[in-house]
Structure 1
Amino acid sequence: MALIMFNKPYGVLCQFSPEPGGPPRLTLADFIDRPGVYPAGRLDMDSEGLLLLTDDGRLQARIADPRYKAPKTYLVQVEGEAGEEQLVALRAGVRLKDGLTLPAEAEAIDPPALWPRDPPVRFRKTVPDCWLSLTIREGKNRQVRRMTAAVGLPTLRLVRWAVGDWTLDGLAPGEWREVG
């Protein structure tokens, strides 16, 4: 059984082949030369961070399937200053068009020591931003972005830091390593 931790850079498609007829984009194949492994879950093209890949279908389901509620921790740069009311709303669960999210662990954090994003997040002198640590146990489409927007804090940068006990610690963007 193979389990690979990959630090997916911004702008990389979370699949091994490009979209037919689409613009040329980087894919997992540009970074990982390991046949037979597939992503356990997804990260949008405009999100960065930890992606787990495996050749074990059962493990893939345990990681990706919301029924197993594997915690996923994100470091999120948002537009605006997060107040206690917004953090409480995230912790209680947020009503989205497709239903109420499960409660999240949410806290305001100091800006993390991350690699620079390419391209950089647009800086605006007149609009403050802050960082949140957000842990969810489900995986609705673009859930973190929709949750922060629903409480008035649009996401500027989204980095998945951890899935369960696996973290990005020591992995630079575009790097991968096989684990246990």
Structure 2
Amino acid sequence: MMLNNRIPFRAHWNQLRRQYQESLPLRMSLWLAVMLLVVHLILLCQDWRVEREEHYRRLAKDWLKLQAISRQTSWPERSKQADDVLLRVRERFWLSTNASQARADVQAWLDDQVTMAGVDDAKITVLAPTGFDREDSVARIEAEVRGVFHPESFSRLLHAIEGEPRQIVVDYLELNNQISPAINLQLSFLFLQPSQAAL
């Protein structure tokens, strides 16, 4: 059975060889196809080589950068500068261990400032804190100060708010200087928990 299969194959192969030897256009076409295949393979190899060279060039550049960075001696100084900046930023926030204490601190601070500024008929409302249930966020307490508008007392109150080193945001300000002069000042106090401040 194997011999029977080989005989037609050998006959077919001999026929192809005879056609190749007798036909010049067939020979030229085959050689042209082989040449095109070789050229294509050479171009592929060149593209691969260029890509590899670019890859190694990038690796070498990154390696040189890392070496230059590792030779720098200013890292401890930069780290200390970053820590100092972070400390100054943290000092801008109010600190409290819990929401109730934070709310009491805001109420006491506003009571003192309103009294010292001399705002008449002052009414202070401190809203429920937000953000104290999550340690990874800045907590916020909003408060509202209403009272009789007098330029001197209002100026003293604004000066106290502006002079406070800890963060106080003026969310809304309304001055009514008509029949019944009044102020409506809405503020936000930003808090960190001590565990955040110590990071």
TM-score by length of 1: 0.27
TM-score by length of 2: 0.25
Which structure shows the bigger proportion of residues in strand conformation?
Answer: 1
Q: Which has more radius of gyration?
A: 2
Which structure shows the bigger proportion of residues in helix conformation?
Answer: 2
Larger relative CO (CA 8 A, sep 6+): 1 or 2? Answer: 1
